[in-house]
C-alpha cells in the first residue's frame, strides 16, 4: 500500500478511529498502563504512558506506522525530521524509515546531549537541518525538550515548524510549581507557534475505555483526573 492509499484509508477511518486503534495497541504492548503513577508535576495519575516500552522491532515498526498515518492525515508539510535525544532518536529514525517505505523520503537528524570534541564534532548528527523541521518525540510534558530543540534548529539556520507526538495528555502544565490554564501542547502551539500532530489524546483514550467493558473500572479514575487537571480545549 502506497502513501496515497494509506492517506485515503485513514480519511475513511477518521482521525478518531486511528486514535482508538493506537490506544488499543499501546495497551496491548504494555506501554499504556492503569493504576497510580506519580507524574513529573507531582500529580497522582491513574494512567501511565511509557513509550520506552515500545522495545522490540515489531512494536517500533507499528508505532512508526501510526506516526506516519497521523502525519499524513494532518496535512503538515516539512523538509527534515529531527529526533531529540534520547527517546526522540529511535522514534524519529523509525518514522523516517516508514515514510520512505510509503514513498515520502525525508532527511533525518538528531542531537547528542553532550558535544563531541573529535571526528565531526558538535551536537548535531545526520542530515543538515534546513527548511521546515519536524520534531518527533513521545509526549510533551513541559515543553522543555521542544524549546531545546527549537534553539538547536534555529542555531543551525533552519525553521522549527511542527512537532509529532504519540499522546497529548491534555492536562494543565505547571510553572513554578503552580498549575496554569494551558497544556504543554497548547503552549507549543499557541506561544511557540509550532503545529502539533498527536496520534491520540486523553479524550480519545477515555472514549476507548468507555467503549469496552474490560476497561470500565478505569473510566471513573481517568475521568476524575481529567476533570481536575484537564485544560479547556476551546482555547
Nearest-5° angle of CA 29, CA 30, CA 34? Answer: 140
C-alpha dihedral sign at 3, 104, 94, 195: negative
SS3 sequence, 70-110? Answer: HHHHHCCCCCEEEECCCCHHHHHHHHHHHHHHCCCCCCEEE
Task: Please identify which of the residues 118, 161, 208, 214 carries the catalytic annotation.
Answer: 118
Cα gap 217→159, rounded to integer Å:
45
Given 116, 161, 172, 208, which residue is catalytic? 116
**Catalytic (active site) residue 116:** yes
Tell me whether residue 118 is one of the annotated catalytic residues: yes
* Of the candidates 30, 132, 133, the residue with the CA atom closest to the CA atom of residue 84: 133
Catalytic residue numbers read: 116, 118
Amino acid at each position: 500500500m502506497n502513501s496515497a492509499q494509506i492517506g485515503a484509508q485513514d480519511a475513511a477511518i477518521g482521525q478518531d478511529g486511528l486514535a482508538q486503534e493506537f490506544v488499543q495497541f499501546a495497551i496491548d504492548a504494555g506501554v499504556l498502563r492503569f493504576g497510580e503513577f506519580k507524574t513529573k508535576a507531582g500529580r497522582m495519575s491513574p494512567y501511565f504512558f511509557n513509550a520506552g516500552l515500545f522495545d522490540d522491532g515489531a512494536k517500533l515498526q507499528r508505532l512508526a506506522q501510526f506516526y506516519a498515518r497521523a502525519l499524513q492525515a494532518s496535512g503538515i508539510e516539512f523538509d527534515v525530521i529531527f529526533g531529540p535525544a534520547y527517546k526522540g532518536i529511535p522514534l524519529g529514525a523509525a518514522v523516517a524509515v516508514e515514510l520512505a517505505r510509503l514513498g515520502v523520503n525525508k532527511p533525518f537528524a538528531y542531537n547528542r546531549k553532550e558535544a563531541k570534541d573529535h571526528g565531526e564534532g558538535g551536537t548535531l548528527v545526520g542530515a543538515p537541518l534546513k527548511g521546515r523541521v519536524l520534531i518527533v518525540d513521545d509526549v510533551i510534558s513541559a515543553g522543555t525538550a521542544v524549546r531545546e530543540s527549537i534553539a538547536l534548529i534555529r542555531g543551525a539556520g533552519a525553521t522549527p515548524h511542527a512537532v509529532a507526538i504519540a499522546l497529548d495528555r491534555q492536562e494543565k502544565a505547571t510553572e513554578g510549581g503552580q498549575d496554569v490554564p494551558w497544556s504543554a501542547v497548547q503552549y507549543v502551539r499557541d506561544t511557540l507557534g509550532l503545529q502539533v500532530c498527536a496520534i491520540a489524546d486523553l479524550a480519545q483514550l477515555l472514549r476507548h475505555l468507555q467503549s469496552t467493558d474490560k476497561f470500565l473500572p478505569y473510566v471513573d479514575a481517568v475521568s476524575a483526573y481529567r476533570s481536575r487537571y484537564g485544560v479547556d480545549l476551546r482555547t
